[in-house]
Structure 1
Amino acid sequence: MKYIAKSIAVLVLSFASISAFSEEKPMNMQQGKSADKGMMQMSDEMKDKQAQEKQQYILKINDLSDRIQDEKNPEKKQELMDEQLKLIKDHMEQKRQMKKQMMKKHHEKMKNKKDGMKM
């Protein structure tokens, strides 16, 4: 009997907590923007250029991978692996810089929006 009462109490409390959380509304990340607009608008030409650059990067990495697998000389193999690693690191740094630039623009935009509200 004691366990049944505890079990019922646990069930009642869990249902109460679930219903309390269901009343919270999800944040609207778009805030006034139409649904088809994102934070970053790119023209079709920019999208094509970015896709071509990514394709070139992938082809270079794959080519180096094939050459590494085919290479028999350990020194040459290590040289190719180092070249591939440098290419990957350069690509990662480029992506990091792009993200940093995008975040900077976003923060400036939010700061300007906040300053405009203070008036």
Structure 2
Amino acid sequence: MVELTPTIKKITPIWWELKWKEEPSDLLLHKRLATSKWIWDHFEEDLLEIRHGYRSLSLIWKCPPPSEFQLSIPTNIPFKREAESIWKIPVCYGGKFGKDLELLCEEKAVSEKDFIEFHSKSN
């Protein structure tokens, strides 16, 4: 079970860390993402950035955070998936998307067909 409330540690006046005791897992990832989004939504004006660790969030503030910050984090923030679908994005070849396929094959001395076949393999 993921601990509902992370420990909050002030590293410096503008660098704070939220840390969960739970080992990394999908459930903890969802908890970190939900907490991060909630913090950003409520304190965006005061934050420079939020950095994600395996079991923690580092908050970098523009100046020391408002006094209500530590007491205001809810213990049960629901995780909302942004999308239900996982999209498979194809690799695009051509000058517009990076090195042109023809030039790359010439450079590597391989046919376009072989290059695409090799690049499409899953291992």
Superposition TM-score tier, normalisation by shorter sequence: under 0.3
Q: Point out the structure with the larger strand share.
A: 2
With normalisation by structure 1, the TM-score equals 0.22
TM-score (norm 2): 0.21
User: Where is the helix percentage greater, Structure 1 or Structure 2?
Assistant: 1
